[in-house]
Structure 1
Amino acid sequence: EGYEVMVSRPEAIFHRTEDGNLLEPLESLYVDLPNENLGDILQSIANRKGEILGMDHHASRVSIEAIIPTRGLIGFETDLVNLTRGEGLMSHLFREYAPFKGEISGRGRGVMVSMENGVSTAYALNNIQARGRLFIGPQEDVYEGMIVGENARPGDLPVNPCKAKHLTNMRSQGEGKGIQLEAPLRMTLERAIEYIDIDEYVEATPKSLRLRKRILDATARKRAAAA
């Protein structure tokens, strides 16, 4: 596919004071959105360790001014677009360095990780999609450690997207029914970078965009997590 670029999750630049205190960059955040979406956006800002400075209601919209850690902005624009159905506007500007505000919770769900190399099959994906949301379709090249979907539950789930249906001489009940796969979620580069966790990469080529674990081998990942 030509060249390949590996992109990790963005990270804020931290500083330490002479007495060892950890400082992080804060941003002034300005959001304009419809009134009916105010509660959801305030919750999103709070989850990202943001602090509301003021609100201004005008007609059917409301403007918010807040302070938020730079790392809290990762993925916020996607939340704003989704929660307001594209009607929300935002801008932000570096404000200052301030004491670290604590950990920000991650995406809350794990991912489904391929444990095989090969080509995905509709039969395998039909079974996998019951566990979460697919990122790939049938007849796509996959490899061990590649992320093929989002798990509906916390924690990563190893799956085999290449499994083929065994052929037998016996006809089973329901045989002949067509497999119906939901359309896979295709991410843009920006959305993929926001989505990945700290132990994952976005793999970008001129023809495709994939998500993968930093450590492809499942056994090696377990050893690294336990270290």
Structure 2
Amino acid sequence: MTTTLITGANKGLGYETARRLLAAGHDVWIGARDVERGRAAAAALGARVVQLDVTEDATVAAAAETLRAEAGRVDVLINNAGISGGRVPVAELTADHVRTVYETNVFGVVRVTQAFLPLLQAAEAPAVIVVTSGLGSFHQVTETEWGRYGSITYSSSKSAATMLAVQYARALPDIRFNAVDPGYTATDFNRRQGTQTVEEGTDAVVRLALLGGAGPTGTLTDRDGTVPW
């Protein structure tokens, strides 16, 4: 059975991804910062739960040890946890505002990926999916109408997250690393203003998760295909 860990999976896109992968036969672990919310989500879905705050080394290390003891490997790691950072006027922006968003959206990806590398390497065909955003695509921001929705903190953090996936793919060819843009999906993240359902928003993640080690590497895609860098 495929062992899958999804960070930030007690609601929204992470929750829907967990639901769909469970239905496909994966053994899904929900990584949740708030363990009680994680337990409630896991109980509703029939998943397993592990406390995991992507901004804290100790909880990430403890989560990796739990999965090592319980499963022995991780076949698919989905770096889903992310924050928007809100709308801060440029004149009021500080390095601390940027640092807070990067702590989750960028450093969190590195922290979790590095901690789980030994468990990924213990799998026969491992895959890592980084949930990014089209608002981190230079093409989307500069050449399409979506550019007006970006922000200094969020957009730049997602550009960095995408590049992390690409560079990990180059550095570790035995593990499939890919970045996925869910698209404008109605979740709590955007106050339910998105135009896609959560199922539509998880199509690309689920497709890659089901391909696992048989999939591509170093790509940026959404549910419709390749997203321009």
Q: TM-score, normalised by structure 2?
A: 0.26
Q: Choose 1 or 2 for highest CA Rg.
A: 1
Q: Report the structure, 1 or 2, having the larger helix content.
A: 2
Q: TM-score, normalised by structure 1?
A: 0.26
Instruction: Report 1 or 2 for greater relative contact order, CA contacts < 8 Å, sequence distance ≥ 6.
Output: 1
